[in-house]
């Protein structure tokens, strides 16, 4: 089958391609045979796939091939403590792609080397889930710029040493994507790209064991479409049609779509909703073995055609399901995976003023294969999902649902909380689905009325950022958090968004706050400068690299977390509103205050220390 790939390559590319094929084909072929090998036309399909990969290989621009070579020589490049991510909506951060390019100096000043721009491809007309309903993978959203603007942006970012990460929404397409339109017009091949059922029989059988992602605004997992004469699978909103990966045409088309984007200079793909790629009756159709086989096959293809590219799994699933998304040494899968449990557990620790759940998450976090890392973060464009923590929240024998519901209520502002947030999509006020809000509002900045309250809120924000920066991961900042931006309520005035409180945390970049970023007499200045300092310290310590060893120290009181990185770096974090003491062994240096410390250290409420061995 590899002949078909090699045949379409120019002579000069063939030896290298043959080498990469020799390494990846023994992995790829059995994976695809496992998924599609039963089909009579499997060999022909595979040959065509290989030829299409060959064409994409030839089309890869020389500068990206050079990048591939550089990264192949240093496969752990993205594990460095010098890597820092930033995530933003194009329209909110820069207005359009050119506006984002104009902000590159700001990103560099912050130390950012990885920029995740939320969906910027042509979305569905009308409501489109913040761009997560894509109608063309080959076209930039005209409201944000042109394909030429994207090419220019990736070139500028690359020159600045910033890798562009783009969402690749591979679980579903918009109901006005060409395939959906053709399916509605009666095209049988297009219809076969989706899961379509003539009546409720099979959907009802699936519904018995399926969960609900948006139980309030998009209940159920199937949508009746008149033009299809039946029900189509829609895990998310009714206008997001799930793709049917049991059909090999879907896999081949999506792999090619991703590589076409890679050839435009996108260096990292955030593979959206990866847990849902394969459906199986009698299960919740998440984390199925075939979903992993599909991702491993995509990885093998990337390793052949564009080995400089990274795949990032967005799978918001319980901790025990997470490591599989990074694969193993024999069967690599994604390079990066969101550690949503770590993120959520940091917030739980604040709400509970105790680190039980957080410690349990850290204990459940296994070491990773080489050249793979967690992604750590404080906030993102989605809600903080509490249900991923079910196992950890009942590790003490208690009722995890009640415990997490309490946390959700806390961030909704109840239970005497300083937080101002919103519960997301809970069908039952006592259940914990998720919580929305900007970090500053959830940590008490918005409700603060005194300098002291503001100082505590800032400490809480820094504490969570300190965890993300020192855990041993690729940390990604969420636009606005570096300036302590608060909730944005303007979505309530937009009828298409008013029912989805995730818009609370999707504000427009605040130019005024940005102007004050060096002024430590202002809140944005305090936040920005303190965060920038942590970033600078992190860059100096290879003990903080993603793959450097991490040990959870058991001798800290419950309100605190003590995390050693190797034997030369120590992070102490007080998640409680009470002072906590910790007895240091030996001499240490406080990296932030730049002074020696030793003996018993008292941590003020929500204080954090980053210590290096003297």
Q: Is there binding between residue 221 and ligand GLC (CB under 6 A)?
A: no
Q: Is 382 in the site for ligand GLC (CB under 6 A)?
A: yes
User: Could you give the CA distance from residue 510 to residue 530 in angstroms, rounded to a whole number?
Assistant: 18
Exactly one of 28, 56, 153, 169 binds ligand GLC (CB under 6 A); which one?
169
Residue range at the interface with ligand GLC (CB under 6 A); choices 103-111, 124-132, 326-334, 585-593: 124-132
Contact call for residue 501 and ligand GLC (CB under 6 A): no
Residue 290 buriedness (CB in 10 A; 0-12 / 13-18 / 19+): middle
Q: Name the residue among 300, 294, 255 with its Cα closest to residue 275.
A: 294
- Comparing every residue's Cβ against ligand GLC, the nearest one is 132
Known active-site residue 558: no
> Is-contact 81 541, C-beta < 8 A?
yes
Q: By CB under 6 A, is residue 236 in contact with ligand GLC? A: yes
Single residue of 272, 303, 360, 481 touching ligand GLC by CB under 6 A: 272
Q: Cβ closer to ligand GLC: 169 or 527?
A: 169
> Based on CB atoms, which residue is closest to ligand GLC, 341 or 576?
341
Catalytic residue selected from 176, 314, 360, 481: 314
Chosen residue from 68, 96, 129, 360 binding ligand GLC by CB under 6 A: 129
Residue closer to ligand GLC by CB (options 129, 333) is 129
Which runs of consecutive H residues, i.e. helices, occur in 163-288?
A: 178-184, 188-191, 201-207, 248-262
Closest CA relative to residue 25, chosen from 303, 321, 227, 213: 303
Closest alpha carbon to 174 in 156, 154, 194: 194
| Member of 132, 251, 377, 575 binding ligand GLC (CB under 6 A) | 132
Smallest gap from Cβ 128 to ligand GLC, in A, equals: 10
Count, residues near ligand GLC per rule CB under 6 A: 10
Helix (H) / strand (E) element for 241: namely strand 240-242
Comparing CB distances to ligand GLC, the nearer of 50 and 343 is 343
Of 169 and 523, the one with the shorter C-beta distance to ligand GLC is: 169
Is 303 among the residues that bind ligand GLC (CB under 6 A)? Answer: no
Among 2, 221, 273, 285, binds ligand GLC (CB under 6 A): 273
HEC profile for 552-594?
ECCCCCCCEEEEEECCCEEEEEECCCCCEEEECCCCEEECCCC
Contact segment (CB under 6 A) with ligand GLC among 128-136, 242-250, 424-432, 526-534 equals 128-136
* Catalytic (active site) residue 272: yes
In order, the DSSP letters of 429-479 are TTS--EEE--HHHHTTTTT--SHHHHHHHHHHHHHHHHHHHHSSSEEEEET
Close Cβ partners of 512 (under 8 Å, ≥ 6 residues apart): none
Catalytic position from the list 272, 482, 488, 500: 272
By annotation, the residues acting in catalysis are 272, 314
Residues within the interface to ligand GLC (CB under 6 A): 129-130, 132, 169, 236, 272-273, 314, 381-382
């Amino acid at each position: 089958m590899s002949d078909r790939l090699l045949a379409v390559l120019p002579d000069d590319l063939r030896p290298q391609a043959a080498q990469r094929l020799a390494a990846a084909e023994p992995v790829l072929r059995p994976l695809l045979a496992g998924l599609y090998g039963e089909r009579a036309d499997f060999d022909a399909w595979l040959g065509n796939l290989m030829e299409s990969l060959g064409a994409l290989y030839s089309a890869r621009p020389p500068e990206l091939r050079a990048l591939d070579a550089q990264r192949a020589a240093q496969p752990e490049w993205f594990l460095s403590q010098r890597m820092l991510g930033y995530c933003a909506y194009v329209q909110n951060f820069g207005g359009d792609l050119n506006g984002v390019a104009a902000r590159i100096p700001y990103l560099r000043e912050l130390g950012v080397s990885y920029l995740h721009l939320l969906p910027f491809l042509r979305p569905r007309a009308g409501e489109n889930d913040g761009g997560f309903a894509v109608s063309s993978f080959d076209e930039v959203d005209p409201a944000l710029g042109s394909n030429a603007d994207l090419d220019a942006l990736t070139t500028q970012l690359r020159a600045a040493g910033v890798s562009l990460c783009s969402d690749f929404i591979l679980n579903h397409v918009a109901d006005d994507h060409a395939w959906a339109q053709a399916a509605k017009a009666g095209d049988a091949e297009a219809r076969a790209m989706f899961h379509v059922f003539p009546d409720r029989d099979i959907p009802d059988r699936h519904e018995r064991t399926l969960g609900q992602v948006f139980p309030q605004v998009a209940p159920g997992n199937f949508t009746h479409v008149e033009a299809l004469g039946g029900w189509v699978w829609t895990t998310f909103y009714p206008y997001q049609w799930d793709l049917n990966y049991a059909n090999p045409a879907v896999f081949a088309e999506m792999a090619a779509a991703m590589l076409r984007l890679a050839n435009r200079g996108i260096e990292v793909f955030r593979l959206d909703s990866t847990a849902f790629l394969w459906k199986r009756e009698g299960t919740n159709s998440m984390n199925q073995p075939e979903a992993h086989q599909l991702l491993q096959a995509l990885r093998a293809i990337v390793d052949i055609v564009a080995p400089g590219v990274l795949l990032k799994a967005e799978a918001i699933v319980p901790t025990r399901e997470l490591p599989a998304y990074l694969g193993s040494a024999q069967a690599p899968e994604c390079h990066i995976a969101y550690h949503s449990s770590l993120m959520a557990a940091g917030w739980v620790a604040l709400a509970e003023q105790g680190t039980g759940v957080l410690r349990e998450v850290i204990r459940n976090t296994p070491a990773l294969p080489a050249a793979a890392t967690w992604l750590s973060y404080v906030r993102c464009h989605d809600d903080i999902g509490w249900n991923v923590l079910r196992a950890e929240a009942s590790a003490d024998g208690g009722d995890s649902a009640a415990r997490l519901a309490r946390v959700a209520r806390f961030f909704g502002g109840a239970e005497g909380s300083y937080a101002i947030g919103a519960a997301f999509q809970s069908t039952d006020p006592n259940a914990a689905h998720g919580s929305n809000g900007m970090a500053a509002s959830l940590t008490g900045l918005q409700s603060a009325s005194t300098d002291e309250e503001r100082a505590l809120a800032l400490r809480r924000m820094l504490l969570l950022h300190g965890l993300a920066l020192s855990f041993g991961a690729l940390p990604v900042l969420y636009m606005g958090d570096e300036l302590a931006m608060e909730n944005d309520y303007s979505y309530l005035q937009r009828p298409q968004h008013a029912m989805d409180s995730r818009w609370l945390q999707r504000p427009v970049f605040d130019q005024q706050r940005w102007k004050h970023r060096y002024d430590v007499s202002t809140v944005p200045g305090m936040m920005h400068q303190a965060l920038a300092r942590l970033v600078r310290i992190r860059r100096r310590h290879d003990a903080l690299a993603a793959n450097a060893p991490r040990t959870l120290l058991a001798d800290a009181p419950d309100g605190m977390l003590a995390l050693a990185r190797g034997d030369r770096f120590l992070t102490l974090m007080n998640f409680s509103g009470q002072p906590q003491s910790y007895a240091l062994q030996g001499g240490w240096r406080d990296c932030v205050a730049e002074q020696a410390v030793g003996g018993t250290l008292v941590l003020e409420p929500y204080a954090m220390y980053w210590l290096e061995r003297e």
